[in-house]
Amino acid sequence: MRTLDEVRARCEIEEITGCWVWTGARSSDIPRIYAPDLYATEQRLNAALAVAFKSPRPRAKIIAALVQAMDPVMEAQTGRRATWQMAQGKGVKDGLIVYNTCRNEQCVNPSHARCGTGTEWGRFTAKTGKHKGQLARILANRRIALARTTVKPEHVQEILLSPETGLAVGARLGYSRTIVSKYRAGHPVAHRPVGSLFVGLML
């Protein structure tokens, strides 16, 4: 898609909020749009210009190469990033992110998007309370993890250092071979912390 009109035609428009809810492809429930990446296009054109100034080729071939380099680079990207570039007519430079100012992650309305640094995005979320309730989600995830395994901290070292097979040490300590194998392979596995579910949280 190359224009905002094309994108808007693929959205459900919410009259009250003004959100453009994308009905096309998504990744992890985030809209994905195949659209021009203007920053990548600018980088490619700059590289072509640098070559052109040094090139001994005929003028006509150089011009043709530059015209080709100006054609937008098409890439699959987040919906808000794609529409922000279309609306602004410029690319998103390295180190910057595009984030929604509304609470609808499926919205691709460019007027609901803002481009800035990660720090600016953090200030915005803190000010608006966009992620209010995150602590509750963290605790819920911990409860789920703890329900899946009851590995005790004092057994971790024994699992790692025991010369026994994973099946044998697991059977002796009361854990599955899969849990033992994950520990020995260095993969993170939830274990029951000493204290409450709030251990390790900065409140």
For the stretch 134-183, pLDDT in tens is 556 656 666 665 555 567 777 877 888 888 888 888 888 888 787 788 77
Give the residue-averaged pLDDT of 77-92: 95
**Hey, where are the domains in the chain?**
4-128, 134-185
189-201 pLDDT, tens per residue? Answer: 555 444 444 444 4
Confidence of residue 203 (pLDDT cuts 50, 70, 90): very low
Q: Contact at 8 Å (CB) between 85 and 97?
A: no
pTM: 0.60
For 53-65, b/e burial (b = at least 16 CB within 10 A) is eeeeeeeeebeeb
Stronger pLDDT, 53 or 145, i.e. the higher one: 53
At 13 the pLDDT is 95
